[in-house]
Structure 1
Amino acid sequence: MIHKHMEFDEMSDKTVLITGTSSGIGLATAVAAARGGWHVIATMRNTAKAGPLLAAAEEAGVTVDVRTLDVTDPASVEACLAGLDRLDALVNNAGAGHIGTLEQESVDDVRAVMEVNFFGVLHVTKAALPLLRASKGRVLTVTSVGGVVGQPFNEAYCAAKFAVEGYMESLAPVAATAGVSVSVVEPGAVASEFVSNVGLTDDAAEQAGPYAPALAAYLDRTRGAFANAQTAEDVAAGILDLLTAERPAFRTLTSDTARAFAGVKLKDLDGSAVQALTAGWVTR
């Protein structure tokens, strides 16, 4: 698809707020957007972790405005957004991976995953919408192919991403009546700290009781997938295209691998193709 993009001088006064910019996709997107002429408000829960972002921005010859924002804390969200006079785009990127299965974790564990990956997106988007209506701006939310295809041992994570996808797909036509476009970005495996943050330890399978063989097989498969992962910079380039496209698509998959994987689900009317695919992840 060919998108018409805004010229650089049209971008010079545009402001984008990006969540979760201390590493990975968020960091790469903040730098890419700044290089593209955006005024970037780069947010993170703990600004003491801003070093890698600031170093990357300096290397790229750009500046970013780093601010504190905890997406799970409505007061933090309101405080961050309250100081803005203008906002042209929001990139909901903050999120956290999670590996587990229902019998071996608490419902509170699942709620915590939903707070970060689903309700966090809602808190920030709700606070941003008045400003985005004023600018006729756009909302981009980084979800995952896990928001399309349910994946073994990712029950809570996929539930949160499914929820985000459904919410944004439902919000999009409503927001459009007020001049705000809504899109989701679905990466597959991405080489970032996201992988290490989910706790894929060597002895994890040994602690899984009756699910040990299945988890061991899953971990083997997952390590292989992330060994050939897409780069965060590649995903960021796709996000920048959406930020500047005249009519951004609702759904963007960021690689051929992601498109092929999600495509299985999107044409799987009875669910059998997805079940056949993911069953192979938990057997050897």
Structure 2
Amino acid sequence: MPSTWLITGATSGFGRLVADRALAADAHVIAVGRRSDRLADLADSAPHGRVTTVPLDITAPDAEEVLTDVVRAAGGRLDVLVNNAGYGLFGAVEQIDAAEARAIFDTNVLANLAVLRATLPALRAAHGRVVQISSLIGQFAWPSSGLYSASKGAVELIGEALAHELAPTGVKVTIVEPGTFATEFATSLHVVAPDDVYAPTVGKFLTDFSELPPEAFGDPDTVADAIIAVTALDEPPLRLAVGADAIENIRASLRSRLAELDRWESFPRVPVGQGT
């Protein structure tokens, strides 16, 4: 029986690449995205009837209901969810206003949760797989990435809790942490230009990033291939960093955190006879 995949953000980047690979493996793909023209292009490129297109902004109030109905109409079985939709927001924490902060959490976190609620009953029935798309900076933050990193950190911790909660059901959860890859993400992210206060930190980081050479951006096929491969494992990892920069930076961050934990584990030291 062909597997059924639901992929959010299926119209570009990692989502489109994963959809193409799932279709090549004879899966039925429920493709969710905001751009109807790109969804139509995906459907036209696939064998007849193998793509169900769902033009949808996953932050819409009825998104959960729409996706629940779509999964039910597809037979109520879902083998793989790739929870991929999201966008980038970069700028100094102080300078990102409330509306911008709310928007990124609405998309990257609350909509992610709506997709999970809509799909988990069918995934449990199939002992399926959940792939949460995070980022290398879901594990730490750079100057300018505070709000984006916070949203992806939420995705990571939701995914970790979910893995524990779903363990008895047979559903496996993997959090994919891509490094820097050549997708539309880098050209479509929203940047809040820093003022003079943050020019030495946020401004310098953004300038340095904008000047990275093309070879600094990895081939996004690597991430799509990793997603396909990890969903086929009997015992997939909880977290999967993809890209040399992701592995290097996450490892450095974890080592720094461990060193800090070791250094401060006895703080504060209260002299004998003092304190309560």
- How would you bin the TM-score normalised by the shorter chain? 0.7 to 0.9
- Report the TM-score when normalising by structure 1: 0.82
Q: Which residue of 2 aligns with 1:36?
A: 25
Is 1:22 paired with 2:11? yes
Number of residue pairs the alignment of both structures matches: 256
Contact between 1:30 and 1:64, CA under 8 Å: does it hold in 2?
Answer: no
Counterpart of 1:152 in structure 2: which amino acid?
Answer: P
Cα distance per residue 1:209-229 (max 9 Å; x no partner): 322343332123212447321
Task: Tell me the distance in 2 between the aligned counterparts of 1:199 and 1:63.
Answer: 34
Q: 2:117 aligns with which of 126, 132, 137?
A: 126
Q: Which residue of 2 aligns with 1:71?
A: 58
- Report the TM-score when normalising by structure 2: 0.84
Q: Secondary structure of the residue that 1:185 maps to in structure 2?
A: strand
Is 1:192 paired with 2:183? yes
Q: 2:163 aligns with which of 172, 185, 203?
A: 172
Counterpart of 1:247 in structure 2: which amino acid?
Answer: E
Cα distance per residue 1:249-276 (max 9 Å; x no partner): 1111112221111111223235769xxx
Q: Which residue of 1 aligns with 2:107?
A: 116
Give the alignment of 1:139-158 within 5 angstroms: 139-158=130-149
Offset at 1:243?
Answer: 1.7
Moved more, 76-85 or 131-140: 76-85
Moved more, 244-253 or 223-232: 223-232
Contact between 2:180 and 2:243, CA under 8 Å: does it hold in 1?
Answer: no
Counterpart of 1:119 in structure 2: which amino acid?
Answer: L
Q: Secondary structure of the residue that 1:83 maps to in structure 2?
A: helix
Identity %: 33
Task: Tell me the distance in 2 between the aligned counterparts of 1:62 and 1:271.
Answer: 54
Offset at 1:142?
Answer: 0.6
Q: Secondary structure of the residue that 1:253 maps to in structure 2?
A: strand
Relative to structure 1, the CA distance from residue 213 to residue 167 in structure 2 (aligned partners, 3 Å threshold; closer, same or farther) is same
Give the alignment of 1:217-256 within 5 angstroms: 217-225=204-212, 227=214, 228-256=216-244
Relative to structure 1, the CA distance from residue 102 to residue 258 in structure 2 (aligned partners, 3 Å threshold; closer, same or farther) is closer
Structure 2: state its 5+ residue gaps. 262-276
Task: Tell me the distance in 1 between the aligned counterparts of 2:170 and 2:196.
Answer: 52
Task: Tell me the distance in 1 between the aligned counterparts of 2:165 and 2:237.
Answer: 15
Offset at 1:72?
Answer: 1.3
Q: Which residue of 1 aligns with 2:197?
A: 210
Q: Which residue of 2 aligns with 1:7?
A: none
Offset at 1:81?
Answer: 2.7
Task: Tell me the distance in 2 between the aligned counterparts of 1:68 and 1:189.
Answer: 28
Relative to structure 1, the CA distance from residue 226 to residue 266 in structure 2 (aligned partners, 3 Å threshold; closer, same or farther) is farther
Offset at 1:101?
Answer: 1.5
Task: Tell me the distance in 2 between the aligned counterparts of 1:142 and 1:248.
Answer: 15
Offset at 1:19?
Answer: 0.2
Offset at 1:195?
Answer: 0.9
Relative to structure 1, the CA distance from residue 63 to residue 39 in structure 2 (aligned partners, 3 Å threshold; closer, same or farther) is closer
Contact between 1:23 and 1:53, CA under 8 Å: does it hold in 2?
Answer: no
Contact between 2:179 and 2:244, CA under 8 Å: does it hold in 1?
Answer: no
Task: Please identify the structure whose Cα radius of gyration is greater.
Answer: 2
Q: Which residue of 2 aligns with 1:47?
A: 36
Task: Tell me the distance in 2 between the aligned counterparts of 1:234 and 1:65.
Answer: 25
Counterpart of 2:21 in structure 1: which amino acid?
Answer: A
Relative to structure 1, the CA distance from residue 75 to residue 61 in structure 2 (aligned partners, 3 Å threshold; closer, same or farther) is closer
Task: Tell me the distance in 2 between the aligned counterparts of 1:184 and 1:191.
Answer: 20
Q: Which residue of 1 aligns with 2:154?
A: 163
Contact between 1:17 and 1:89, CA under 8 Å: does it hold in 2?
Answer: yes
Cα distance per residue 1:90-117 (max 9 Å; x no partner): 0000000001222222123211111111
